[in-house]
Structure 1
Amino acid sequence: MAETKQYIFFDFEMLCSNRGMSFEEMEGIRLGAVKYDLKTKEVTYFDQYIRPCNPRPLSSFCKKLTGIKDEELQGAETFKIVFEEFLSWVRGIKKSRFFSWSTSDLTRLKLDAKRHEVPITTIKKIEMRYIDFQAIFTKRVSKNNPSVENALEFYGLSFIGEKHNPMYDSYNTLRIYLNFLNLPFQTDIIMLKQFIFDEVPPVKEINNLLNQEFQKDINEFTLDLKEIYRMKDAGKIIKRTRRMVEKYENILINRSGIFSKENVWDVGCLVEFYHELLFTFEEHSFYSSKVMILDEHILHPIHRLYYKEG
């Protein structure tokens, strides 16, 4: 894959109705995007209306939500032409990394490209270079799926531009991404409040209090842990372990470097146990076992944590 030289953030506004509409029917009616040059830091913009195949006037709900008027679509080009102009503006799929705030925009692109007989090879090239940034932000920072506006607020930022304008939605998603990328310390502080602490303690106390919280969870978990589970109950221990991993796994990544080696090691042991547990569960399921047995090898990582202080 060629070296990435630019980021493309894109967003669609779509046909919509308060009476219900399948996603297949929700054609894109406006495509907005921003291009961020990694070398120069220059931002350029793309914004075009799309004339849908559906000839019916927009619903009042859709007009109010998107701010788009029927006459703006009547004078617009078809998806195929707008997409060709978008590609000309991109000036190189292979040197680009594509982002959107949720996969719905990529799905919209794929559906409308198929409807308008855009070569599938072109779409696959974009898909290979695509990142769902909302999913990353949710997993690494916010815990719950936030809106663009809420994600900006985490960094003390306000939305710039006109809401429900896909170009401005793209631009503000870029702003979130650049903060996520360039402010790892602030991002980890946000993550701690979202996943672990009600209020983040002073920096010098973070590792000590984090260790206490982690050890408390481990102790409670280990005391409830059994060596044999009926398969119908095994899923519960899988879910409980997964929730604990989701709570602490960003410590292991340690993007800011603020977490101690001890805390990183502890979380590593937890993740190791979870992977072993999953493998064991899948193995027992494959052989249609009625019980799942956790041998000493599987329990070793969690026992290291439980007996660590002793």
Structure 2
Amino acid sequence: MYDQHIILDFEMNPVLKKYAEVRKHLHREIIEIGATKVSPDGRVLDTFSCFVKPKFSSDVAEYITKLTGIKTTDIYNAASFSEAIQSFSKWIGHGKTRIYSWSNSDLIQLKSECAIKQIPFPTNMIRWMDFQIIYPRIMEIKQYKRLMSLHEAAEWYGISFEQKDAHRALYDAKITTELVIPVLTGEYVSQRECLKKVIHRDEREKQETRLSLSDLCSGFFSQFISNETLEPEYVR
């Protein structure tokens, strides 16, 4: 049993090419941290959000701004990576904690950035779950969707997903939280059964459609073969 669950997301910015040696081991830097804190019974207790000032770039890349809306002015006076991680770790606090993220890229990034910047990896962030891998297994949709985007998963579960707010750390963490909480409470079981019924219904309808089309086509070709003089009609 865990004392709390932390669902997080990072937004990142590319390391400039002039830092060639750094880029051999670190291609991006964290520029925003967003997270929710959830109790064992599935209640959201608190949220965390902060910008992080990168060390190996002075500006937010244009494509990152277009994707996330994060501008250079947002990170200009932000906390350093060391300060931000220390503040985040303090917010997490003590007690047995499990960390969740959508894909393992956040864990890989945190480990790499801590190593390059010589920052100790937080001891209260060692138990990590890649929920992007777990979710299709839990919902028994692995055969349909082995790897889903957060947007896809939200749509499958019936969670409203605002594209204009996507790719901001706290927003994505909140969406992931809406997928994690039903697993903690057990609510996902009824949702899973409902989802399976919808999938099977859609498959049945598609199969019936394919059979109908096949019957129509076979009828046409039978007629065509039996009467070689039949001229096919074209829609003009």
TM-score (norm 2): 0.71
SS in 1 for 2:107: helix
Q: How much does 1:23 deviate? A: 7.7
- Letter of the structure 1 residue corresponding to residue 135 of structure 2: F
Name the stretch that deviates more: 178-187 or 60-69.
178-187
CA offsets, 1:247-291, max 9 Å, x none? xxxxxxxxxxxxxxxxxxxxxxxxxxxxxxxxxxxxxxxxxxxxx
Q: Which residue in the other structure is 1:266 paired with?
A: none
- Letter of the structure 2 residue corresponding to residue 134 of structure 1: Q
Q: Could you tell me the percent identity over the aligned residues?
A: 27
SS in 2 for 1:46: strand
CA offsets, 1:147-177, max 9 Å, x none? 2222122222202682211111111101011
SS in 2 for 1:58: coil
- CA distance in structure 2 between the aligned counterparts of 1:39 and 1:150, rounded to whole angstroms: 26
Larger RCO: Structure 1 or Structure 2 (Cα < 8 Å, ≥ 6 residues apart)? 2
Of residues 2, 11, 31 in structure 1, which corresponds to 2:9? Answer: 11
Q: How much does 1:184 deviate? A: 0.3
CA offsets, 1:217-275, max 9 Å, x none? xxxxxxxxxxxxxxxxxxxxxxxxxxxxxxxxxxxxxxxxxxxxxxxxxxxxxxxxxxx
- CA distance in structure 1 between the aligned counterparts of 2:26 and 2:9, rounded to whole angstroms: 17
- CA distance in structure 2 between the aligned counterparts of 1:185 and 1:5, rounded to whole angstroms: 25
- CA distance in structure 1 between the aligned counterparts of 2:78 and 2:182, rounded to whole angstroms: 35
- Letter of the structure 2 residue corresponding to residue 154 of structure 1: W
Of residues 84, 92, 95 in structure 2, which corresponds to 1:82? Answer: 84
- Letter of the structure 2 residue corresponding to residue 68 of structure 1: I
Q: How much does 1:133 deviate? A: 0.8
TM-score (norm 1): 0.55
Q: Which residue in the other structure is 1:170 paired with?
A: 173
SS in 2 for 1:84: helix
Q: Which residue in the other structure is 1:230 paired with?
A: none
- Letter of the structure 1 residue corresponding to residue 106 of structure 2: D
Q: How much does 1:192 deviate? A: 6.5
- CA distance in structure 2 between the aligned counterparts of 1:47 and 1:28, rounded to whole angstroms: 12
Is 2:125 the counterpart of 1:126?
A: yes
- Letter of the structure 2 residue corresponding to residue 185 of structure 1: S
Q: Which residue in the other structure is 2:62 paired with?
A: 60
- Letter of the structure 2 residue corresponding to residue 99 of structure 1: Y
Q: Which residue in the other structure is 1:246 paired with?
A: none
Conservation of the 8 A alpha-carbon contact between 1:5 and 1:96? yes
SS in 1 for 2:165: coil
CA offsets, 1:185-226, max 9 Å, x none? 2214425666xx46378xxxxxxxxxxxxxxxxxxxxxxxxx
Q: How much does 1:81 deviate? A: 0.5
- CA distance in structure 1 between the aligned counterparts of 2:25 and 2:64, rounded to whole angstroms: 14
SS in 2 for 1:149: helix
The 3 A distance-change label for structure 1 pair 118 and 23 is closer
Is 2:100 the counterpart of 1:95?
A: no
Whose strand proportion is higher, 1 or 2?
A: 2
- CA distance in structure 1 between the aligned counterparts of 2:138 and 2:9, rounded to whole angstroms: 22
Whose helix proportion is higher, 1 or 2?
A: 1
Q: Which residue in the other structure is 2:192 paired with?
A: 187
Q: How much does 1:115 deviate? A: 2.1
Q: Which residue in the other structure is 1:25 paired with?
A: 27
RMSD (Å), alpha carbons = 2.7
Q: Which runs of 5+ in 2 are unaligned?
A: 18-22, 205-236
Conservation of the 8 A alpha-carbon contact between 1:8 and 1:34? yes
Conservation of the 8 A alpha-carbon contact between 1:36 and 1:44? yes
SS in 1 for 2:31: strand
CA offsets, 1:34-83, max 9 Å, x none? 00122582431111111111134222111111211111111111111000
Conservation of the 8 A alpha-carbon contact between 1:34 and 1:170? yes
User: Following TM superposition, where does structure 1 have runs of at least 4 consecutive aligned residues deviating by more than 6 angstroms?
Assistant: none
- CA distance in structure 2 between the aligned counterparts of 1:65 and 1:42, rounded to whole angstroms: 27
The 3 A distance-change label for structure 1 pair 114 and 22 is closer
- CA distance in structure 1 between the aligned counterparts of 2:93 and 2:27, rounded to whole angstroms: 30
